[in-house]
Amino acid sequence: MGAKIIIIFLLFSSCHLFDNTEETQHVAVYFNESNVSVYEGGLGSLSLRIEPPDRLSYYTVDYKILNEEIAVIFRADRRGVVFSGKQEGSTVITAVIGNAEAKAVINVFKQ
């Protein structure tokens, strides 16, 4: 009987190990700048700060650019994003972890 109780307890507790929804509710995400400018064809970057910083390795960051005709993501990871300016205009980039998000404006200018 004792072994069955332990197994049932382990099954219920292991579900929490793979569900980080509760954990992401206690995260804040910030870009190092709120507004960044690049030339068409140029690269720009934004660093990402996650609070608390000791939780950085636990999360997946999703980046989205509102208008990919203006700028596109070149490279991205948990520490930040590098993007390329495609054509003149402005758009917004968002970093999302669970319910937390950071936004910044990307301005692209002609050379």
Please give the tally of structural domains in the chain. 1
Could you give the strand order of the β-sheet that contains 80-85, starting from the edge strand earlier in sequence? 28-31, 43-51, 80-85, 71-77
Domain with 32 in it: 2-109
Distance, CA of 8 to CA of 17 (rounded, Å): 15
For residue 66, count CB atoms less than 10 angstroms from its CB and return exposed for 0-12, middle for 13-18, buried for 19 or more.
Answer: middle
Per-residue pLDDT of the chain (111 residues; tens, 9 = 90+): 554 444 444 444 444 444 444 454 588 999 999 999 999 999 999 999 998 887 767 788 999 999 999 999 999 999 999 999 999 999 999 999 988 999 999 999 998
CATH of the domain at 8: 2.60.40.1080
- Tokens at 43, concatenated: 């690269």
